[in-house]
Each structure stands twice: as C-alpha cells, then as structure tokens.
Amino acid sequence: MSLFFSNCIYVAARLARRCLPTTVPSGLRRLLPFLDGNFGASNGAGVVGLYSHHLGGRRPGWPGGLTVLEVGVGATNGSCYELAALGARRVLALEPYVALAVERDAAQLRATVRAGVGAEQLAERVGRIGEAASLETGSVDCVLSNSVLEHVAEPERLARELARVLAPGGFMLHVVDYRDHFFRYPYHFLQWSRATWNRWLNPGDLPRWRLGDHRAAFERAGLRVEILVAQPIPDAFARIRQSVHAEFRHRSEEDLATAYGVLLVTWPEEPLK
Ligand SMILES: C[S@@+](CC[C@H](N)C(=O)[O-])C[C@H]1O[C@@H](n2cnc3c(N)ncnc32)[C@H](O)[C@@H]1O
C-alpha cells in the first residue's frame, strides 16, 4: 500500500478517534482492536510478568519486602494485587484519571488469591491513590509503570515527583509503548507538526514523546537512566522515514524508531536496593 493511501486511512481513523472519549468504553474497544492499548485492567499478572522479565536477575527476590508505587494502573488494581501476592510489603496504585471498575477489580483480586494469602490480606496491602503528592519524601523503594509514560502530558513534572518519593537505593522500571496507538501504523504520527497533531489528530492523550524525552526528564530530575530495551520496527519505520516532519528531524534514529522502550532509573552511584 502506498504511503499516500495509508495516510488517507490514517487521517480518517484519527479524525474519527477524536470524536470518541479518551477512555474508549470496553464494548467499543473490541470493535477497534487497532486502537486498544490497555492490558493491565484484565491481566495484572501479565503486567507484573513483564516487569519481572525486564528486571531479569537485577534484583533477586523482587518485590519481596518492598514498598512499590505503580503509576497509571488503569481501571483495576490487578497488577498491584499480584505484586502483593509476590511479597511486596505495601503497594500503591497511582491512577489520577480512571475510576476503579469495581467488578473487574474484584475479579482480578479473586484471580490473584494464592494458597496461604487470602483476598483480604492482599487488598489490605494495596492502596489506590490519585496523586503522588500525598506520599512522603523517600517513602517508596520501587516505582513501576507499563504503557503510561507515553501518555503523560508533563513528563518532567512527573519525573521530579517520582524522584522526590524514591528512597535512596530505590529503582524505577518504566515500560513504554512509543508506537502511534493506531497500532497498524506505528510511526505515522511523526509526519505532522505539533500544531496540526494537537489541533486535528491527537486523540487527547498521545503527546508523541520519544525515548530521549523520557531519558532527559529523569536525568534532569537528578536520576540515572539505563535503557534496557530500545526496540524498533524497522520495516514500518523505513516506510515513513523520508516523511518525518521537520520538527522531529534533529532526533537520532534510535529516538525516532524506538517502538518499545524499557527504562531502568536509579539514583546515580548507588547499587540497586
Ligand atoms: C494505556 S493505560 C495503561 C494502564 C495500565 N498500566 C496497563 O498496563 O494496562 C495509561 C494509563 O496512564 C494513566 N496516566 C496518564 N497520565 C498519567 C500521569 N500523569 N500520572 C499517572 N498516570 C497517568 C492513564 O490514566 C491510564 O490509566
């Protein structure tokens, strides 16, 4: 398919998407698979599996005994129940925008119950909060997020706030989906100026950050960033490389083409807690 033709489909779909609310109702999501990015609301254990996978052997025993903050958990606390079941001391589910889906959350809690750890015990260890400002300075050992940073309107502000609550020796793991969330065309959104994107095409929660923006935000907050994964989709990127908008052209190829990124963030010169 020519780029012109795919752009026609893309622009039509993006204009239609602007007519929908930012959080697409679940029934509609099934009809729009190319637009759906939520995973944790129905599979908290899957999200925690991702964190464990990327952390690898870097923190043996994780998350046992830690106070964990998960940023942008979505409609349920499912991943936080899973962290509690794995031995986290306390798990804070930070979600400023999406209300708790009570029935789905209860189903996630039931699915997490293990022999020897009941639903009540798990629920007691998990707390849902609307903002990190309520947390004490240096009170969190581990900060996690999955598919969240790409939606954050002010990453520098969030990075400063997370740095404030992160304890000495603590660490963060952020899994970021840098694709255009009309997933069929993972880089098409790089073809438009910021003005055009925001006026006509942005679904409302996709600021088009690249890996380097997040790295810079944490570094400016005084933290050290290690990029664990910066995975491109080479064929898809090759299709739009020549049409990347001038506003993005100063970026490195890694920055532009990273579709899936994982950032490990620590305090400088400190071993992992
Ligand atoms: C694509 S959903 C991911 C939800 C969940 N982490 C998962 O893996 O399914 C993005 C989430 O990020 C949240 N979010 C957006 N901006 C945020 C911010 N500044 N601070 C915390 N959460 C934010 C949204 O409310 C939404 O729940």
Please tell me whether residue 209 adopts helix, strand or coil conformation. Answer: coil
Q: Which two tokens stand for residue 19?
A: 């007519």
Is the Cβ atom of 45 under 6 angstroms away from ligand 1? no
Atom of ligand 1 lying closest to residue 41 CA: 9
pLDDT of residue 144: 98
Atom of ligand 1 lying closest to residue 38 CA: 9
Atom of ligand 1 lying closest to residue 154 CA: 19
pLDDT of residue 62: 95
Is the Cβ atom of 112 under 6 angstroms away from ligand 1? no
Mutate to test the pocket of ligand 1, among 23, 42, 83, 97 (most ligand atoms within 8 A of CB): 97
What's the pLDDT tens digit per position in 83-132?
A: 999 999 999 999 999 999 999 999 999 999 987 889 999 999 999 999 99
- 47 exposed, middle or buried (CB, 10 Å; 0-12, 13-18, 19+)? buried
C-alpha to C-alpha distance for 266 and 169, rounded to whole angstroms: 7
pLDDT of residue 27: 61
C-alpha to C-alpha distance for 244 and 40, rounded to whole angstroms: 32
pLDDT of residue 19: 80
pLDDT of residue 22: 63
pLDDT of residue 16: 87
Residue 115 Cα, ligand 1 centroid: separation in angstroms?
31
Domain 3-266 CATH (choose: 3.40.50.150, 3.40.50.2300, 2.40.50.100, 1.10.3720.10): 3.40.50.150
Please state, in angstroms and as integers, the Cα–Cα distance from residue 53 to each residue in 12, 30, 47, 74, 182, following that order.
Answer: 37, 28, 10, 21, 26
Contact between 239 and 185 (Cβ < 8 Å): no
pLDDT of residue 39: 67
pLDDT of residue 271: 54
Q: Which two tokens stand for residue 22?
A: 């930012």
Residue 112 Cα, ligand 1 centroid: separation in angstroms?
21
pLDDT of residue 35: 54
Domains of the chain by residue range: 3-266
C-alpha to C-alpha distance for 160 and 85, rounded to whole angstroms: 29
Q: What is the DSSP string of 152-185?
A: -S-HHHHHHHHHHHEEEEEEEEEEEE-S-SSTTS
Residue segments in the chain with a per-residue pLDDT below the cut of 50: none
Residue 73 Cα, ligand 1 centroid: separation in angstroms?
6
